[in-house]
A and B are shown apart, each in its own frame.
Chain A
Amino acid sequence: MASAPTAPPAARFPASPSRAPFGRFLAAAFTVVLAISLREAGVDPRLLVQSDAVGNAARFVRGMFPPALGVDFLGLLVRPVIETIQISLMGTTIAVVIGFPLGLLATASLMWRGALHERTPVARRALLGGVPYGLARALLSVFRAIPEYVWAFMFVRAVGLGPFPAVLALGVAYGGMLGKVYSEILEGVDSRPIEALRAAGASRAAIVLYGLVPSALPHLVSYTLYRWECAIRAAAILGFVGAGGIGQQLALSMRMFQFDEVLTELAVLFALVAAVDFVSGRIRGRLV
Chain B
Amino acid sequence: MNRLALVVVANCLFAIQWCIAEAETDEQVAARSDAIDFAGAFQNDGFKIRDGTYFGKISKDHSAVVAVNLYNGNAYWFAASTAEKAEKLKISVFDEAGMPVSYEPFQSGTRAAAGFSPEASGLYYVKVALEDGPPATFCLIYSYK
Q: Is B one of A's binding partners?
A: no
Residues of chain A having any CB pair with chain B under 8 Å: none
Task: Mark B residues whose CB is within 8 Å of A.
Answer: none
